[in-house]
Each structure stands twice: as structure tokens, then as C-alpha cells.
A and B are shown apart, each in its own frame.
Chain A
Amino acid sequence: MQKTTLVRISVVLFALLLVLGTSVWAQKLADRPRAASMRSIAYDATQETAVEGTVLSYTAEAATPPIGAHVQLQTASGTMDIHLGTGSYLDANHFSLAKGDSVRVVGASSATRQGTIFLVRLIQKGGQSLALRTAKGAPLSFAGARTLSPAQRAQLASQAGPR
């Protein structure tokens, strides 16, 4: 019995030391900025807006940065330069755009040296909707395919070539 009690006390003391140790380290953690400097072409999710308009032109080959697909969108308040990321991501998701299309985009405006650009997180045309960025504003063309369902993964795995 005494031995059991001692073991319990030791365990409690050890746990307490662990907590205290962690606490000491927590107090020593360096003070880092959680929201650092806002640079140009950054997606600020707190500034998201929805915009509706008509496509004046669409190109998958940017004449000016950022690299990727751009739309000139006619809105009620003027013409906007819309950045959609890589055009092939639209193609892969069977989403096409042409002059005269009516679209609704959700995203955030960002200042660039060439002017203001609208970074799109979500685009809708007719009944079709496509997410282009994560909720944090990162392009889904980077790794969006990794969020496939298990069934889709299993199907792909059966078709996969050399890895």
C-alpha cells in the first residue's frame, strides 16, 4: 500500500513538474508578431467583398503580373482587373469564361505596382461555382487536389503511374 501511495505521489509530482516545466518554457517563449507587415498582393480575408459584373475579356496568359489568368470585369463601379490564378486550374474544373459572361466573384482587392487587382477566392457563373483559393487566400492550385475524398483517392490510386 505504501509503495502504491509513493508511486502515485511520484506520478503526481512528475506531472506537476512537467506542467511547471512547460509553464516556465511558455513564459520564455519569444514574443513574435502574429500579424506582420501587410505587403502588396497579399490576400486580406477581412476585406473580402462580393462583386458582380460582365466579362470584357479573359486571358490565361498575363500581360502584366501576377502570372496567371486575368479577367477584365465590367462592374457597376467601373472596370476591374481580376486575378484567377492558373488558367489550367479552371480548365481542370471545367470552368470556362468568355466575353459577355455574367459572373459573381468573392475576393479581396490588393494593391500592386501596376494598380489594384482583385484576388478571387470564389467565382460563380450561372449555376456553376468554383473555389480558387482557401479561406486564408492561398491558391488552391498549389495543393487543393490533396483534399480529394477517400473514394476519389482510391480511384486515382488504381490508375496511378510510377511514383
Chain B
Amino acid sequence: MNRAVKRLLSFAAALFAFLSAGCSNGGNTVVGPPPPPPTGNFSNFSLNGQYAFSMSDTELCAGQGSFFARDGSFTADGSGHITDGVEDVNVCTGVFTLPFTSSTYSISADGRGTLNLTNSTGTTTYSLTLTSPTQGFVAQTDGNATAGGSLQRQNPAAFSNPAIANGYVFDVFGASSAANPESIIGRFDADGAGSISLGLYDSNEAGTPSGQQLFPAGALYQFDHTFGKSGRGVANIAGHNFAFYVVDATRLKLVGTDFPEVFSGEAFAQQSIAFTAASLNSGLAFLLGGSSSSGPIATAGRFTADGVGNLSEIFLDENNNGTVTLLPSQGGTVAGTYTLDANGLGGGMATWTDTRVGTFTFIFYLISPTEAVFQEIDTGITSDGTLLAQTGGPITPASLAGDFAFVLSGVTQNGSNVDSNDFVGQLKLTSASGNNATGIMDFTEFSPAHQQQLFDIQSSGPLDITSPGTGPNTLTLTTTFPSPQTFNFTAYAVDSSTVFLVGVDNNRVLAGSIARQP
């Protein structure tokens, strides 16, 4: 389940790039008061082997903010050195494949750390928090850009065409060549030899859905001869060119290489079954992020699917550039339905209507009966993310107690600036009532006129669980340094190890999740 959550975060992290204008690299660095000594079992040895990473958010370009994406792979030696690696960056000046030279990292006992990756253009710096030695969250925190995403340990045995075979579901988000936000979700079959068939996709460009489409001619995938040892390859999916990095045979990271468009996302091995309405027969939580006509949008919620096309117990929290909508609305009721495509390939549609707010419509492609990629298609909204079955309930403060890594991405109205933000850190939850959440995080405030990196910022507050815990819960985190700030979230638990967060403040739009550390 953690894997799916990391994926979710990379989508959510991808979605917000709404700033502009500015000055040069660097910005201010602020370090919080010394935190308590970190505790836990992580160390530099926890990052050991080959890892694939993906990130996206905002760079500065000719004085304006601009969405960008980076995917890559590095090899960590377990003692603080990055010995090899390569990345693909899609920035406003073009698309570049950049090998890493000598680079470094450090990991603290709590799984938090730093990563410095050097290529021919210089060194970029990241904060990260591991959820385990095999995966973690990452945010760029060097003032050159802001980005958030995830990393996973790679399995080199899967670095060949034959390993990439059978069905895959994919989700990419980014900007079209016309500078519109665009989400593309779908599925395809890989034949283990570089050919792709049965490709289907749904695109949503600036809130205009394409309807389901066939892949145009030219779909393929092929490992790279130069950087193949990094698990790198190239692919044409849904008519777009990508570089991919293999995590393992079940997961590929994708970054678009057609300029000026830019996409970031992932593909996941699809369970080989004929999907029907009966495939969805549980409670499911979702998290989406993207863009609306007015700015960034983040949405989280949950529903119960009954296996025959009906949805019930529908809850949703949407933050549309500061306008917060909750379902069910006050005085309203919500009812919905869903359908699976007749071809059995896992595509489908879910829709529900709140009697006071209106109708919400989504496309999905099932990875399995418990996982899907999820795309909203309501007019003016381009937003996508993840749908995951809720398991292991009821959710209680006791079941959630423990240490979690977290990642958040979004924007904040900060005086006259609208800052892009990427957060990564650790959250400790106890079973006590009241002030039961304490956190420590690194994050960026990034706009053309204001670039600031903040490290070791502590927060605390209550996580209030409403029984049975699978619906909307509330998390409030308050920081006191460098200035008092309160972050209000609605928390939807997937299980006792994974919780989706959506910010419900009027002055910021944030989405992300927490994932349990061992």
C-alpha cells in the first residue's frame, strides 16, 4: 500500500505551479530552533543501492514561475556517497539528460536527510524522509526551484524489455504545448519486446475531457543503451514521448520529453483480470491535485462502492484555489453511481451529485480492485491522483499511533506573493487525545519575488478521528517559528499506515499524505 501512496504523492506534488516573476537562484535559508535529537533506526546505510526518483513543481523562467519535471536514478553506497546516476529534466529551456558526478547524502536516525546531486550544470539539493530503506519522499530545497515527489529502490533485474510485459495503467500530469494543464490516464499492454498494444487513454486539457481514445500509431518502449544500467528507457505512450526509469517490473516513472509540453507520472502493472462493476466492492479513499480555471485545486475524499454500480457514504473536501467545498454540503445529500467499461480493461467512470453543490464526475483505470488512477473531468478542472481501497478499519488514534513520513505540495498566499510550497518531514502520532501530533519538516516558499528554504521547522496539534475513522477526520498543525502559522487539514485514512491530507484553509492549497515508518 505504501507504494501506491508514494505514487499518489508524486501526482499531488506535481500539480501546483502558479507563481511568477523573479530574481535569481538561492533565496534565504531559515533554520528552526534545535529539535530534540532524532530517534529511530535509520542511518546512511538505509540508503543503499539504486533508487529511482520523480519530482515536479515550479522553476523560475524569464522571471516567471513555470511547471517543470525531473525523473532519474542514483546509486547510493550506504555511507553517504552517490556513486552513479542520471536524470532527465524537462525545464523551460528544453529537455536534458544529465549524468551525475560525485554527489553526497546523509540520513538521520528518524529517516530525514539531505541529498546533493551534482551534474554538469551544478548541484541541486533535496530534503528527504525515508519511510523504509526501499522508499521515501523528497523535496527540492535549494532555492533554484521547488519540487516534490518520491523515490523507490530499483530492482536491476527488471532493466530489460522482457521484464516489462503485460498490462500497465498510467497517469501523467503536466502542461500541454499550449501551456494548458493536462492530465492523461489510461492503460496499455507491453509485449516484453518493446511493442505496445491495446492502448487506451482519457486526456483532460484545461478541463476539457477528450473522451476515451486509442493510442495513436507509434507506441513503444525501449531500454536505453547508454544509461540502461540506471533502468532508463524511452517510450511513446498515448502519442507522447517519455523517458522512463524502472523501479521494478510493476512500476515505471515517466517524464515527458516532448518540448514545450511537460509531463510527470508513473505506470503500474495491471492485474490480469476482466474488470467488471463487481471489481469495485469496498470503501475507497482518493486524493487528487491539479489546476482549475482560477488556480491550483486539491481534492480528497472517500466513497463506498457496492459491486453493482452504486456509490454511497460519499465524502469530499475540495480546495479550489482557496474556495473550500465539503460534501455532503450543509443541508444537502449525495448519491452516486459508477460504471466499468464493457471491454473489461479496467477503465470506468464515477459520478455523484450533491443536491446543493452539483455533480462531480471522474474517470478511473483500475490497477487492481484495490488501486486505481483517478481523474476529475468537470468543466474547468484538470486534476488527477489515486484511488485506494480502505482496509483494516476501524481507524482509531491507537491504530494510527507511530512515526510517519509526510510530503505535501501546493501554494500559499504569502502577503502579496503566491508561493509554491513543497514540504517533506516526519510526523509522530500518539494515541492520546488532544495535542497528539508533532512534526518536523523542511519546506520551500518559492515565488518569483520570494525564495526561502526552511529547515527543521517544528509543529504540533491535534489529529481528531471521527469514528469509524474512514470518513473525514481533522488534523491541525501549528508552527511557531519563524512565525505562527496554522495548517488545517482534512485527513482520509486509507489504512493505519497511510492517510491522505488535503488543506482546507482559504489562503493555501495543499495536498499530500503521511506514510508509516517502521
B262: chain A residues at CB < 8 Å are 143, 146
**Distance (whole angstroms) from the CB of A26 to the closest CB of chain B:** 7
CB-nearest residue of chain A relative to B290? A142
* Interface-facing stretch out of A2-10, A48-56, A97-105, A132-140: A132-140
Within 8 A of B (CB), among A21-58: 22, 25-26, 28-44
Answer yes or no: B480 CB below 8 A from chain A CBs. no
Chain A nearest CB from B331 CB (Å) reads 14
Chain B residues with Cβ below 8 Å from A61 are: 413, 415-416
Which residues of A78-102 have CB atoms within 8 Å of chain B's CB atoms?
A: 83, 85-93
How many angstroms from the CA of A162 to the CA of B92 in the assembled complex?
A: 13
Contacts of B487-510 to chain A: CB distance below 8 A:
506-509
A residues in contact with B377, CB < 8 Å: 32-33, 36
Centre residue among A92, A136, A163 by max chain B CB count within 10 A: A163
Taking residues whose C-beta sits less than 8 angstroms from the other chain, chain B's interface range is 35 or more
Q: Which residues of chain A have C-beta atoms less than 8 A from B198's C-beta? A: 25
Contact B292 A42 (CB under 8 A): yes
Check if A74 is an interface residue, CB within 8 A of chain B: no
Interface positions of A from 131 to 160, Cβ below 8 Å from B: 133-148, 152-154, 156-157, 160
Stretch in contact with the other chain, from B160-168, B209-217, B219-227, B234-242: B209-217
* Residues of B close to A129: CB separation below 8 A: none
Q: Which residue of B lies closest to A39 (CB)?
A: B378
Q: Find chain A residues with CB under 8 A from B24 CB.
A: 161
Q: In the bound complex, do residue A43 and residue B293 qualify as a contact, i.e. CB atoms below 8 Å apart?
A: yes
Give B405-419 as 1s and 0s: 1 = Cβ < 8 Å from A's Cβ atoms: 000000101011110
Using Cβ atoms and an 8 Å threshold, which residues of chain B touch A161? 24-25, 121-122, 144
- Provide the residues of chain B in CB contact with A160, threshold 8 Å: 91, 93, 121
Cα(A136)–Cα(B121), bound, Å: 36
Q: Which residues of A contact B22 (CB under 8 A)?
A: 88, 92
| A119 pairs with B294, CB closer than 8 A | yes
Complex Cα distance, B62 from A93, in Å, reads 10
Closest to A162 in B: B122
Known contacts being A32-B363, A39-B379, A88-B65, is A138 close to B206, with CB within 8 Å? yes
Q: Is A17 an interface residue (CB 8 A)?
A: no
- Residues in A with CB closer than 8 Å to B461 are none
B94 A62 Cβ-Cβ under 8 A: no
The distance in angstroms between the C-alpha atoms of A153 and B509, with both chains bound, is 31
| Chain A nearest CB, measured from B199 CB (Å) | 9
A22 & B417 in contact (Cβ 8 Å cutoff): no
Q: Which residue from A35, A83, A135, A156 sits with its C-beta under 8 Å from B294?
A: A83
Give 30 A-B contacts (CB < 8 Å), ordered by A residue.
A28-B342, A28-B343, A29-B213, A31-B211, A37-B361, A40-B323, A40-B358, A43-B207, A61-B413, A62-B413, A66-B320, A66-B321, A85-B18, A88-B64, A93-B64, A110-B293, A112-B323, A134-B206, A135-B178, A141-B19, A141-B64, A141-B65, A142-B66, A142-B179, A145-B62, A148-B61, A148-B62, A148-B92, A153-B93, A162-B124
What 5 A-B pairs have minimum CB-CB distances, sorted nearest first? A42-B380, A92-B21, A162-B122, A65-B322, A143-B175
6 extra interchain contacts, Cβ-Cβ under 8 A, other than A86-B65, A88-B19? A30-B342, A42-B207, A60-B417, A65-B323, A135-B178, A142-B181
Binding site for B on A (CB under 8 A): 22, 25-26, 28-44, 59-62, 64-68, 83, 85-93, 110, 112-114, 117, 119, 133-148, 152-154, 156-157, 160-163
